[in-house]
């Protein structure tokens, strides 16, 4: 296993510097092998396009962590049902991937690398297909936008109702969303911001300072009554109900979404665990969810919320990056910890918790594949 993981990492180092070229080769080869697959993908591929390749690469890099690997891949397989991929498409993707790696790797590529990727892809696609086959839910849900609230130019909170079938998920998980009216076949992942409920209503917090295709449409264009599509829930940032440790939550910006869902789940049963939420944003105006959190603090004695601003000297509260603020309140050694935000923020928070000697198995986070 060690040698296998080493070969994958070594060979990836050879090609990762030019991911764009790898991606171009992969899709060119894929559509040449099976032109029918082209219609499953967005019109515009580059940059904004599909992320299948990213997902495969993230999985191969995680292969030395078999436990998370298994559930991650099964969930990815369930999620990929939204593309209507068949066993045949998995095989074609494998051929395209190997061809692309060989071409991008050039003279540095060798037979050992080839075999390692072939084996890795076989293991990955087998688990993905097993996950997909075992799933009794539809490949995606149609969902109607019920409410849409803007907070400043870049942020929106929306609620949607999944139609026709219940959408089972756990607090802390994320789903991918398509806005067919504006960007057909482009899917992006977002954490669900509320706990599961009988009405099949899901809340999402979206922020995008740039144009961001799906996020841009969700913040600026979508209106109540519009239809979205939502694929299978994924992610392991969920509560361990058997644990009696107190809880630390660290959220940066709209990374608050899954944390809010976890707090809502705790409201349904928690009486004994102290829950500390650290909520960071750049400016006070970006703390869009603070009022709602304070309302919860007022009625749940076990809950505390500490907001902080990293670029607002006038803010009457904690100053600095949220990871530094958390450190000031530690140690967190005996807590279950949940971290959610940008990849850089998650990295900083993980470093802070490691310095506090928090055992890694007590820390949960989802990075959607990129840390
Ligand atoms: N499950 C998850 O992990 C989720 C993650 N997200 C991600 O959260 C991010 C939120 O973005 P915005 O709302 O624009 O927030 P942002 O990027 O403005 O960051 C908010 C706060 O996070 C902290 N932070 C940011 N970069 C940091 C760094 N390098 N080191 C230490 N602390 C840092 C600071 O306290 C900052 O004020 C997005 O990247 C989004 O994809 C969003 C939802 C769920």
ipTM over cut 0.85: yes
pLDDT of residue 370: 52
Whether residue 331 is preceded by a cis peptide bond, meaning omega within 30 degrees of 0, is: yes
Give the pairing type, strands 227-231 and 155-162.
Answer: unpaired
Q: How far is the CA of 66 from the centre of ligand 1 (A)?
A: 28
Provide the pLDDT confidence category of residue 210 given band limits of 50, 70 and 90.
confident
Stretch 336-345: mean pLDDT: 96
pLDDT of residue 371: 46
The first and second tokens of residue 53, run together, are 């390749």
Cβ proximity of 233 and 169 under 8 Å: yes
Residue labelled with tokens 């939204």: 82
Q: How far is the CA of 369 from the centre of ligand 1 (A)?
A: 15
pTM (two decimals): 0.90
Residue labelled with tokens 């913040």: 219
pLDDT tens column, 39-93: 888 777 765 445 677 777 777 776 666 666 788 889 889 998 988 888 899 999 9
pLDDT tens column, 283-338: 999 999 999 999 999 999 999 999 999 999 999 999 999 999 999 998 999 999 99
pLDDT of residue 64: 65
Beta partners for 204?
158
- Domains with residue ranges and CATH for the chain: 2-134 (1.10.490.10), 140-231 (2.40.30.10), 247-365 (3.40.50.80)
Cβ proximity of 201 and 242 under 8 Å: no
6 Rama sector, left if φ>0, alpha if ψ -120 to 50, beta otherwise? alpha
Reference 40, options 81, 95, 87; nearest CA is 81
**DSSP percent split of the chain into helix, strand, coil, nearest 5:** 45, 20, 35
Mutate to test the pocket of ligand 1, among 342, 346, 349, 371 (most ligand atoms within 8 A of CB): 342
Q: How far is the CA of 364 from the centre of ligand 1 (A)?
A: 16
121 DSSP 8-state letter: H
Euclidean distance between CA atoms 191 and 258, whole angstroms: 6
Q: How far is the CA of 180 from the centre of ligand 1 (A)?
A: 27
Q: Tell me the C-alpha to C-alpha distance, in Å, between residue 137 and each of 40, 79, 82, 245, 332.
A: 20, 11, 11, 34, 39
**Residues with a CB atom less than 6 Å from ligand 1:** 174, 191, 207, 252-255, 257-258, 280-282, 310, 321-323, 340-342, 344-345, 348, 366
pLDDT of residue 355: 94
Cβ proximity of 302 and 169 under 8 Å: no
């Amino acid at each position: 296993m060690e040698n296998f993981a080493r070969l994958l990492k070594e060979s990836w180092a050879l090609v990762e510097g030019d991911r764009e070229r790898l991606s171009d080769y992969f899709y060119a080869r894929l559509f040449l092998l099976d032109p029918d697959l082209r219609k499953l993908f967005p019109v515009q591929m580059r940059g904004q396009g599909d992320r299948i390749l990213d997902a495969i690469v993230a999985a191969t890099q995680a292969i030395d962590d078999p436990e998370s690997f298994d559930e991650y891949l099964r969930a990815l397989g369930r999620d990929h049902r939204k593309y209507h991929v068949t066993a045949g498409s998995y095989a074609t993707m494998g051929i395209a991937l190997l061809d692309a790696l060989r071409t991008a790797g050039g003279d540095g590529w060798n037979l050992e690398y080839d075999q390692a990727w072939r084996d890795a892809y076989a293991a990955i696609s087998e688990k993905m297909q097993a996950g997909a086959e075992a799933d009794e839910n539809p490949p995606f849900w149609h969902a109607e936008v019920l409410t849409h609230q803007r907070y400043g130019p870049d942020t929106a909170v929306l609620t949607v109702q999944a139609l026709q079938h219940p959408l089972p998920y756990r607090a802390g998980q994320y789903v991918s969303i398509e806005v067919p009216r504006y960007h057909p076949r482009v899917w992006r992942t977002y954490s669900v911001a509320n706990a599961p409920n009988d009405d099949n209503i899901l809340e999402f917090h979206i922020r995008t300072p740039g144009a961001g295709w799906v996020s841009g449409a969700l913040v600026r264009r979508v209106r109540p009554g519009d239809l979205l599509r939502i694929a299978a829930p994924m992610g392991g940032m969920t509560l361990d109900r058997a644990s009696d440790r107190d809880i630390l939550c660290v959220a940066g910006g709209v990374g608050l979404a899954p944390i809010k869902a976890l707090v809502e789940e705790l409201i349904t049963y928690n009486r004994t665990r102290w829950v500390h939420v650290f909520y960071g944003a750049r400016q006070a105006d970006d703390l869009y969810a603070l009022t709602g959190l304070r309302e919860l603090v007022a009625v749940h004695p076990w809950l505390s919320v500490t907001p902080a601003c990293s670029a607002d000297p006038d803010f009457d509260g904690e100053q600095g990056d949220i990871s530094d603020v958390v450190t000031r309140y530690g140690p967190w050694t005996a807590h279950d910890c949940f971290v959610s935000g940008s990849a850089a923020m998650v990295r900083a928070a993980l470093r802070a918790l490691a310095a506090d000697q928090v055992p890694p198995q007590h820390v949960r986070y989802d990075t959607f594949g990129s840390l």
